[in-house]
Chains A and B, each alone.
Chain A
Amino acid sequence: MSEVKLKLGIPGKYEERVVTLPEGEPKPYDADSKLSVVGSRHPRLDGFAKVTGQAKYAHDIRLPDMLYAALLSCPHPHARVKSLDTSAAENMPGVKAVVAAADQHVRFAGQYVAAVAAETLEQAERACRAIKVDYEPLPFVVDLEEARQPGAPKVFDNRDSNVRAADPTERGNLAEGFAAADAVVEATYKTQVQTHACMETHGLVAHWEAPDKLKVWSSTQGTFAARDNLARRFELGAENVEVITEYMGGGFGSKLGLRDFESAAVELARKAGRPVHLMVDRKFEHLSTGNRPNSVQVMKAGCTKDGKVTAWQVDSYGTSGIGGGAGVANPSVYDFPAVRKTSADVYTNAGPGCPMRAPGHPQGIFAVESMMDELAYKIGMDPVEFRRKNNSHPIRDAEFELGMKAIGWERRNQTPGAGPGPLHRGIGVASGRWSNVGERRNSRIQVRVAIHPDGGVEVENGAQDLGTGTRTIVGLLAAEELGLPVEALTVKIGHTSYPYGPASGGSSTAPGLAPTVRKAALLARRRLFEVVAPALQAQPEQLECRDGKITVVSDPGKTMDWKRACGLLGTTPINELATRSDNFDGWQAEAAGVQFAEVEVDVETGRVRVLKVVVVQDCGTVLDRLTAESQVIGAVIQGISYALLEDRILDRTTGVMVNPNLEQYKIAGSWDMPEIEAIMYDAAIGYNNAGVNGLGEPPVTPTAAAIANAVYNAAGLRMRELPITPWRVLAADAARRGGRS
C-alpha cells in the first residue's frame, strides 16, 4: 500500500486528497496529469473497417455448410399451445432440424414457439409456416390502465393481480413540506414504450466444433455472460465455449444475456450437426427482444416563492409487459427535503421490457424536469436559477453556467407562447444523472499486455465494443502508458479466450477496463525497463518512454528506440496480466450533465422541430474527445426520437403490435436532426486510476425533458405526455383556447 496526493475537482474547486493505493497501482489521473493521447481527439481505431465493410458482424459470418434458422412466433397475445406438429415442416425441402420452445404457455403476441434450420433462410421461413400449432386462446390485456383494474385478465395465473407494487420510499416530512410551500403543482406525466431497435438485430451463429465444444459468434453486449449462459444451458465447461463479438450493431441494454430463441439456434446446430445462422427479423426484434417500459407518474410538488422545493410526491406505475422493472428514476436529480414515492409494475400481455440505456431515467427525468419547469414558471423564476437553487452537485452547477452561454439562454421567450403568427421558438432546459465509476471491490476484470521482441504490443481483453468506442479507448490508454502511437499497438477485444471483461451494462465498460489497461501497461513497461536499464547504464526507475523512445530522464542523451529496446528481450516476450484494483475514494461519483434545447413549434399544424441541442456533459476523465462527443450526440438523437416520435403501438382489440417495422415505428432520421453541440466537461474525480465515469447512459436521460420544456417556452403549451406528436400539440392548443378546434 502507498499513499498519493491527488488534485481532484473542477476548475475553481480543486481539492487535495490523499488516497491509499495498492502496490503497483499507477498514479491515478488527476487535474495535474499531463496526458498526450488520452483525452485527444482520436478517430475510432475500427472506423475505417466499419465504413468499408471489412468489419465482420455476427450477421456477416458465413461458415462452410452453414444453415439458416427462422423463428415461428405466436400470433395471439395469450394462449396455450395445445399441440404443435412439426412433421410437415421437417419434410420440406432443405429443412435439417426443427425445435419447439419449452414454454407452451404464450403470454404475448410475437413470443417464439418454434425454430427451423434449413439450407436457405427462405426454406426455413416457409417451413415455419408449415408447422401446425393448435392454440387455445386465453383472455388477455394489453392496456396499462385496463390491466390495473380488478377483474382484469391475469397475465400470470399464480398472482393475485397484474399489479406488483414496490416498497414505498419516504424521506423527510411531507406534510410539513407542503405546508411550507408557497406554490404547489399537481400533474400527471406519461411516457410511451420505446423499443431498442438495434441496427443489428439479435442473433448468433452457432458452430459445434465437437460434441462438447461450442463456438458462437454472437451479437451480444456481454461476451462472458453469453459464454456462461451457454455453458449452463448446454451443460458444458465454460472453457469449452467460445464467444466472439468482434463488432456489434448496437444493444442499448437488450443484449445482456442469452435469449431462449438464441439457445434454440444453438440447439438446432447440435441437432443438425451443422453450423446455424440465426438473425431475427425486424418484426421479431420489435416484439420480443425488449423495450423501455411506459410510465404514468402522478406528481405533486411544492416550493417556496424564493425557489426552494419543499416537498415532492410521486406515484408511478408502468408496464414492462410480461417482464418487470417498470420503475422510474424519480425524483433523483435534485435535493428535495421531503419525498414520498410509490411505484408499481403492471403486467400486460406484451413483450418483456428489459434494460434500455439508463433504465427508468428518461421517463423519470421527463416528469421531474417538467415539474421543475412548471414550478419555476409558477413562481415566476428563471428555470435555470430555480434548478440551481435546488442542486448541490458542483459539476451540474458549473454545467448550467456553460450551457446557458452556449445556447444563448437570454434569447428564450420571456413570456411563453408570446408573439404573433403560428411559428414560435423557445428554449428549454433539463439536467440528467447517472453514475458508474466501476465496481468498488473484487472485480474480476483482467487485461493482458504483451510486448514482443520485435517491438509489437498486444493489449487484450475479451469484452465487446458495444459501439461506444471501447477498442479505441483501450488502445489510447495503453499507448499513453507505453509512450507509443496508438497505431503501433494491436488491440484485441470481443473474444472469451482473452482475459475476462465486463458486460457493457450500466455504462460500466470504460470504468471497468480503463484502470485495468493502465495497470497492465504499467506492469509491462516496468518489466521492459528492467531489461533495458543495464544497457542504458541506469536504474529502471530512472527511465521513461515517450515518442517511441526509452530515455534516462536525468540524461536525455542516453536513449534507445522502442524496437531496439524490445530486441533486448531475446526470445522471451513480456506478458503481463493485471487484475482491476478496488476503487479508492474520490471527489464526485455521480455524473450530471445538462441539456438545452431550442425548438420551433407550429401551433397550427402541431409540428415540433428541434433546432438546436446544447449538451454539457461530464464523465470524469474524457478518454477520447471524439468518441465521447459521439456518445453524447448519439444519445441526443435517441432522445429526440423518444421525445417526438417513437411509440410501440399495440392494437387494443387484438393485442398485436401494429407498427413492428421501421416505417410506422418512427425513428428520427437525418433530416430531423438539429445542430447538436456536445461540450465535454472535464472533471478530476478519482475512484479509479483513470478517473473515469461511465458515459453511455447519462446523456440520454434529460433530452426529452429539455425538448418538452422548450415547447412550453416556445408555445406556452405544457406537453405532459410523450411522444410530443402533432395531434397532442393540437389538442393542447385547442384545450388552451377552451374548446374544440
Chain B
Amino acid sequence: MTTPFTYLEPAGLADASRLARQEGAMLKAGGIDLLDEMKEGLVAPEKVVRLSALKGMDRIEVKNGKLRIGALVTLATVAAHKQVREHARILAAAAGQAATPQIRNAATVGGNLCQRPRCWYYRHEDFPCRKKGGDQCFAETGENRYHAIFAADGPCHIVHPSALGTALAALGGQILVFDGQKSRSVAVEQFFALPSVDVTRENVLQPGEIIEAVEIPSAKGKKSAYHKQRERLAADWPLAEVAVVYEVKNGAADGVRLVLGHAAPIPWRCPTAESYLSGKKIDAGAAAEAARLAMAAAAPLAQNEYKVPLFTVLIARALMAAEKGEPA
C-alpha cells in the first residue's frame, strides 16, 4: 500500500540534500527498493526527492589510478563498462549477477549500497521488529535459515544484502558522501555499521547526506574473485557470497582482503584468514586453511548452520579461482 506523496525535483546536489533533510522526505534513485518498502507499508514518505534529476552523477572515470563511479550509474552499466571490468572486475561481476536484468537497468550504485535488508521479518509489516523500533528480533528464535552466522550478539541478525558492498569492501573502496556543503570520503568498512551501533540503520549516513560516488583503487593486475551461491539461478539472493582481492609479490599473496556477504549484518572481513594468507603462496591447502580460519568464529543460529560448510567451500574455491586467474 502506498500513501500519497509529493515528488520533488532537486535543482542540484545541494538542493537535493536540503530537500532530503525535510521532515518526511526520502531520496529515490532507481526506486527499486524504495517502492518495495512503500508498498509493504514499511515507509510512507510524504516527499520523495528524485535523485535521478541530478546531472553528472551517472559518470564513470579513471583518474590517478582510481576508478570513480557516480552514484546514479546503474548496475547494468557497472556490469558492462570496460573500465570497471579492467580496474575492478569483481565489481562488474557482482553487479552483473545481482537481481534480474530489469532491476539492474533501473537500480543504481548509491541505491544498491543503501538498500534496506531483506530479512523476512523486517520486510513484513506485521512483525514489529527491532529494526522498525520494536523490542524483539523475531529471527533469533524463529525462521532463520537465511540469517547471519556472525555478530551473534545482535541485537539483530540481518545479513548485508548489497552485492556491491561486498565487492567494494574487498577492493578497498571509498564512498564519497556529500553532507550538504562538502564531500567526505568514507572507507566502505566505516560506511556500514553493525546493529549494535544503531539497530534501526545499516550505515553511517545522516539525514540529508547523499552518496555522490564510489572510488576504487585500481585492482588491475591484482588477483581477485567473486563467488556466490544461490538456491535458484533466476532472481534469487545469495545464500553466501565471497569476494577476495590480493596482490602477488614474489610468488606470494600480499594485502589480502577477504570479504563475505550474506554472512553478517555488514560486509564481513576475515582478518585471521587474511593475515594467515599474507606471504603465502595460495594453493589448495592454504585456501582450505584460510577458509577454516575465516569460519572459526562463526556462531550460527538454529537453522543456518549449513552456511558454515558452504562458506568454507566458497572461500576456498574463490581463492583458487583468483590464484588461477579464472574469470571473476
Cβ proximity bits B294-315 to A, threshold 8 Å, 1 near / 0 not:
0000000001111011100110
Q: Determine the distance from Cα of A608 to Cα of B145 in the docked complex, in whole angstroms.
A: 18
A10 at the binding interface (Cβ < 8 Å): no
A659 at the binding interface (Cβ < 8 Å): yes
Which B residues are in CB contact (< 8 Å) with A651?
Answer: 121, 138, 142-143
Q: Is the CB of B143 within 8 A of A605?
A: no
Q: Is the CB of A725 within 8 A of B309?
A: no
From the candidates A109, A122, A741, name the one contacting B309 in the complex (CB within 8 A): A741
Which size class do B's interface residues fall under?
Answer: 20 to 34
Q: Determine the distance from Cα of A11 to Cα of B80 in the docked complex, in whole angstroms.
A: 56
List CB contacts (< 8 Å) of B206-237 with chain A: 229, 231-237
Closest A residue to B314 by beta carbon equals A605
Q: Determine the distance from Cα of A224 to Cα of B23 in the docked complex, in whole angstroms.
A: 55
Tell me, rounded to whole Å, the shortest Cβ–Cβ distance linking A193 to chain B: 14
Q: Is the CB of B232 within 8 A of A669?
A: yes
B3 at the binding interface (Cβ < 8 Å): yes
List CB contacts (< 8 Å) of A468-510 with chain B: none
Q: Is the CB of A730 within 8 A of B233?
A: no
Q: Determine the distance from Cα of A660 to Cα of B232 in the docked complex, in whole angstroms.
A: 18
Given contact pairs A75-B126, A126-B1, A653-B141, A606 touches B121 in the complex (Cβ within 8 A): no
Q: Determine the distance from Cα of A649 to Cα of B121 in the docked complex, in whole angstroms.
A: 12
Q: Determine the distance from Cα of A122 to Cα of B41 in the docked complex, in whole angstroms.
A: 12
Q: Is the CB of A726 within 8 A of B1?
A: no
Tell me, rounded to whole Å, the shortest Cβ–Cβ distance linking B185 to chain A: 34
A444 at the binding interface (Cβ < 8 Å): no
Which B residues are in CB contact (< 8 Å) with A533?
Answer: none
Which B residues are in CB contact (< 8 Å) with A730?
Answer: 306, 309-310
B120 at the binding interface (Cβ < 8 Å): yes
B239 at the binding interface (Cβ < 8 Å): yes
Q: Determine the distance from Cα of A644 to Cα of B138 in the docked complex, in whole angstroms.
A: 26
A658 at the binding interface (Cβ < 8 Å): yes
Q: Is the CB of A649 within 8 A of B143?
A: yes
Closest B residue to A653 by beta carbon equals B142
Which A residues are in CB contact (< 8 Å) with B4?
Answer: 122
B190 at the binding interface (Cβ < 8 Å): no
B22 at the binding interface (Cβ < 8 Å): no
From the candidates B2, B121, B232, name the one contacting A668 in the complex (CB within 8 A): B232
Given contact pairs A651-B138, A652-B143, A730-B309, A671 touches B234 in the complex (Cβ within 8 A): yes
B127 at the binding interface (Cβ < 8 Å): yes
Tell me, rounded to whole Å, the shortest Cβ–Cβ distance linking A525 to chain B: 49
From the candidates A122, A644, A649, A658, name the one contacting B2 in the complex (CB within 8 A): A122
Q: Is the CB of A126 within 8 A of B233?
A: no
Given contact pairs A604-B313, A726-B229, A654 touches B127 in the complex (Cβ within 8 A): yes
List CB contacts (< 8 Å) of A294-335 with chain B: none
Q: Is the CB of B308 within 8 A of A605?
A: no
Q: Is the CB of B306 within 8 A of A658?
A: no
Which B residues are in CB contact (< 8 Å) with A125?
Answer: 1
Q: From DSSP, what is the main secondary structure of chain B's interface residues?
A: loop
Tell me, rounded to whole Å, the shortest Cβ–Cβ distance linking A288 to chain B: 14
Given contact pairs A726-B306, A727-B145, A730-B309, A656 touches B232 in the complex (Cβ within 8 A): no
A734 at the binding interface (Cβ < 8 Å): yes
Given contact pairs A122-B1, A658-B143, A669 touches B234 in the complex (Cβ within 8 A): yes
Q: Determine the distance from Cα of A727 to Cα of B231 in the docked complex, in whole angstroms.
A: 10
Tell me, rounded to whole Å, the shortest Cβ–Cβ distance linking A358 to chain B: 23
From the candidates A605, A606, A658, A671, name the one contacting B232 in the complex (CB within 8 A): A671
Tell me, rounded to whole Å, the shortest Cβ–Cβ distance linking A350 to chain B: 14
Tell me, rounded to whole Å, the shortest Cβ–Cβ distance linking B57 to chain A: 28
Closest B residue to A668 by beta carbon equals B232
A27 at the binding interface (Cβ < 8 Å): no
Which A residues are in CB contact (< 8 Å) with B121?
Answer: 651, 658
Q: Is the CB of A605 within 8 A of B142?
A: no
Q: Is the CB of A129 within 8 A of B141?
A: no
Count of chain A residues with a beta carbon within 8 Å of a chain B beta carbon: 37
A731 at the binding interface (Cβ < 8 Å): yes
A92 at the binding interface (Cβ < 8 Å): no
A670 at the binding interface (Cβ < 8 Å): yes
A672 at the binding interface (Cβ < 8 Å): yes
From the candidates B138, B141, B237, B239, name the one contacting A726 in the complex (CB within 8 A): B239
Which A residues are in CB contact (< 8 Å) with B239?
Answer: 726
Q: Is the CB of B1 within 8 A of A606?
A: no
Q: Is the CB of A741 within 8 A of B120?
A: no
Closest A residue to B36 by beta carbon equals A663
B124 at the binding interface (Cβ < 8 Å): yes
From the candidates A126, A652, A653, A656, name the one contacting B124 in the complex (CB within 8 A): A656
Q: Is the CB of A672 within 8 A of B306?
A: no
Which A residues are in CB contact (< 8 Å) with B235?
Answer: 663, 669
Given contact pairs A122-B1, A656-B127, A727-B145, A606 touches B234 in the complex (Cβ within 8 A): no
From the candidates B142, B143, B236, name the one contacting A666 in the complex (CB within 8 A): B236
Tell me, rounded to whole Å, the shortest Cβ–Cβ distance linking B156 to chain A: 16
Closest B residue to A607 by beta carbon equals B229
Given contact pairs A125-B1, A604-B313, A672-B232, A653 touches B138 in the complex (Cβ within 8 A): yes
Given contact pairs A656-B124, A670-B234, A671-B233, A741 touches B308 in the complex (Cβ within 8 A): yes
From the candidates B120, B233, B237, name the one contacting A669 in the complex (CB within 8 A): B233
Given contact pairs A651-B143, A727-B145, A727-B306, A658 touches B233 in the complex (Cβ within 8 A): no
Which A residues are in CB contact (< 8 Å) with B313?
Answer: 422, 604-605
Which B residues are in CB contact (< 8 Å) with A122?
Answer: 1-2, 4
Q: Determine the distance from Cα of A664 to Cα of B233 in the docked complex, in whole angstroms.
A: 13
Q: Determine the distance from Cα of A682 to Cα of B127 in the docked complex, in whole angstroms.
A: 54
Cβ proximity bits A717-740 to B, threshold 8 Å, 1 near / 0 not:
000000001110011001000000
Q: Determine the distance from Cα of A668 to Cα of B233 in the docked complex, in whole angstroms.
A: 8
A645 at the binding interface (Cβ < 8 Å): yes
Tell me, rounded to whole Å, the shortest Cβ–Cβ distance linking B3 to chain A: 7
Q: Determine the distance from Cα of A625 to Cα of B265 in the docked complex, in whole angstroms.
A: 52
Tell me, rounded to whole Å, the shortest Cβ–Cβ distance linking B41 to chain A: 8
Tell me, rounded to whole Å, the shortest Cβ–Cβ distance linking B175 to chain A: 27
What 10 pairs across the A-B complex have the smallest Cβ distances? A669-B234, A727-B306, A671-B233, A658-B120, A671-B234, A125-B1, A741-B309, A604-B313, A75-B126, A730-B306
**Chain A contact residues, CB within 8 Å of chain B:** 75, 109, 122, 125-126, 129, 422, 604-607, 644-645, 649, 651-654, 656, 658-660, 663-664, 666, 668-672, 725-727, 730-731, 734, 741
Instruction: List 17 other contacts, CB 8 Å, given A122-B2, A653-B141, A658-B124.
Output: A122-B4, A126-B3, A607-B231, A644-B232, A649-B143, A651-B138, A656-B124, A656-B126, A663-B237, A664-B118, A666-B231, A666-B232, A671-B234, A727-B303, A727-B306, A730-B306, A734-B309
A-B contact pairs, 5 of them (CB 8 A): A653-B141, A656-B126, A668-B234, A730-B310, A741-B309
